[in-house]
Structure 1
């Protein structure tokens, strides 16, 4: 009785089989090259603008409710040439950075203390967790009474919206340090302060930087809320004025400008984190 021999795949075929799988663009969990990532992201924006233009220029949507890309571009030109919109952008950026930096300077040390010392965490955590669920916009009437309608009120809105988030996220990052590294440092003669300076903070630094990057994105949502009330400058103020005039072109452009600035700041934060913490996977 003769046995049927199954042809064995050649070594070259074995080598090419996993390569073909790796080249599949949408294979589960397969990494995408940076070039493909940029092209796919750009493709989405192109398709989005084409769909937007199709609905508006084709007459499917009234210009009162949604301006076309062409109208938006014309309104953008007017904002920069006649209404000094660059000043509004500068004021909004200043408010975001002011509130965010103030919150970070206070919140990061407090978060490190809460993560390192459980007694400090037990004292502060209930109050911080309570305040974390309070919307920053709810404080605006009180802040207007306390600080007026000037710059301090807007900076404080961003501070409140960012501070409690940073504290808790930093505390969790520091508190999740590897116990074996802490024990090894104690074995080598480190004291409590040395554990914090040489083990907890260096180990948590990439996570803290990533936390700040994420909260900076949230800060941009708070500044628009702050500028909607009692403001005479800023992107939010321009959006409010445009809404009163039913100028959807300017409203859309203001929203796009916020997205562009936020995206640029996010990329800059990512690049800085990667440069500072090249050894980390974050």
Structure 2
């Protein structure tokens, strides 16, 4: 709103309320937020989601058979954990997830570093990896059953396939992105190729590699359900499948929520480790 009270008669804008100015600053690209603001906004988003879910279900707009209320899901998850031995399924799935993920990391890290730093290996390996990453891991399930049977190795192999290809390409991109000026500076100071690789390239890549491991660990949790659909007698995936067979919608959603919670916990562990290992980046 404009005011004409200025001594020279020129129109002036009334001062904007500080809260409005701060809200507008949130809409700026790459706006800086304090840790408290990030936590507050994140909490607000979660509360809004569950509030809408609760209102929709409690108002009867959606039948409980299709979407139970969050209270019913929370109650069912509590019962599963404390009275029905669900922690054994969680343990079985966690072993498969981290087994496949760790094997993928051991193989993908050196391959990604080679692709990112040596044009010979990039030309030799990258076309295959770039093609294979478009193949869904679910398509390999029948092949893994033929090759490995329906034991634990088959389930770990599915998670390995789902995480190896994106992780290798992540690391290749990270390695390729190391500044050439950094390498040239080392060469100009008399460093050999071996010294540049082990004392310049690798230390520069490690923080981002750890961050890529965090992202890929989350991807690994998304494949545990697929990995356990065949021949599993325990695990979170088979628990969800059995719930679906008996039309237990609240139990299905509780299982999905449990996978999400474990994924978030894994992410937090990696974030904590990253902050402790590389405090100069935080």
- With the length of structure 2 as denominator, give the TM-score of the two structures: 0.88
Q: How many angstroms does 1:168 deviate by?
A: 1.4
Aligned to 1:32: 33
Deviating 4+ runs (over 4 angstroms): 20-23
The alignment partner of 1:65 has SS state of coil
Residue aligning to 2:176 = 175
Per mean C-alpha deviation after superposition, the further-off stretch among 38-47 and 131-140 is: 38-47
Q: Contact 1:25 / 1:32 at 8 angstroms: preserved in 2?
A: no
Cα distance, 1:165 vs structure 2: 1.1
Kindly state the Cα deviation for residue 232 of structure 1 after the two structures are TM-superposed: 1.4
- Residue by residue over 1:134-190, the C-alpha shift from the partner in whole angstroms, topping out at 9 and shown as x without a partner, is 111100001011111111111111111111111111111111211111111112221
More displaced stretch, 176-185 vs 70-79 = 70-79
Structure 1 position 251 matched with structure 2 position 249: no
Measured after TM superposition, the shift of residue 48 of structure 1 is 2.0
Q: Deviations over 1:230-279 (max 9, x none)?
A: 22111111110111111111111111111111111112111211221222
Name the counterpart of 2:11.
none
CA distance in 1, matches of 2:78, 2:207: 41
Contact 1:104-1:212 within 8 A present in 2 as well: yes
- Equivalent residues of 1:22, 1:30 under 8 A apart: no
Specify whether residues 69 and 176 from structure 1 end up closer, same or farther in structure 2 by C-alpha distance, changes over 3 A only: closer
Match of 1:159 in 2: 160
Instruction: Tell me how far apart the structure 1 counterparts of residues 178 and 52 of structure 2 sit (CA, whole Å).
Output: 48
1:202 shift after superposition:
0.8
Alignment root-mean-square deviation, CA:
2.3
Residue in 2 that maps onto 1:231: 232
Q: Structure 1, unaligned stretches of length 5 or more?
A: 7-16
Please give the alpha-carbon distance, in whole angstroms, between the structure 2 residues aligned to 1:22 and 1:72.
38
Is residue 273 of structure 1 aligned with residue 271 of structure 2? no
Partner of 1:187: 188
Deviation sequence 1:106-132 (CA, Å, 0-9, x none): 110111111121101111111111111
What's 2:12 paired with? none
Cα separation, 2, equivalents of 1:175 and 1:44: 36
Match of 1:207 in 2: 208
**Structure-2 separation of matches of 1:55 and 1:117:** 56
- Measured after TM superposition, the shift of residue 5 of structure 1 is 8.6
C-alpha contact (below 8 Å) 1:235/1:254 kept by paired residues: yes
* Structure 2 CA distance for partners of 1:83 and 1:114, relative to 1, 3 Å: same
Higher alpha-carbon deviation: 175-184 or 193-202: 175-184
Deviations, residues 81-121 of structure 1 (Å, cap 9, x unaligned): 44210011111111111111100011101111111211011
8 Å contact from structure 1 (residues 56, 62) kept in 2? yes
CA offset at residue 26 of structure 1? 4.1
Deviation at 1:23, TM superposition (A): 6.6
Deviations 1:2-46 (A, max 9, x none): xx997xxxxxxxxxx9xx599703411432222222222222222
Structure 1 window deviating more from structure 2 (152-161 vs 228-237): it is 228-237
CA distance in 2, matches of 1:123, 1:81: 52
- Structure 2: gaps (5+ residues): 1-5, 9-14
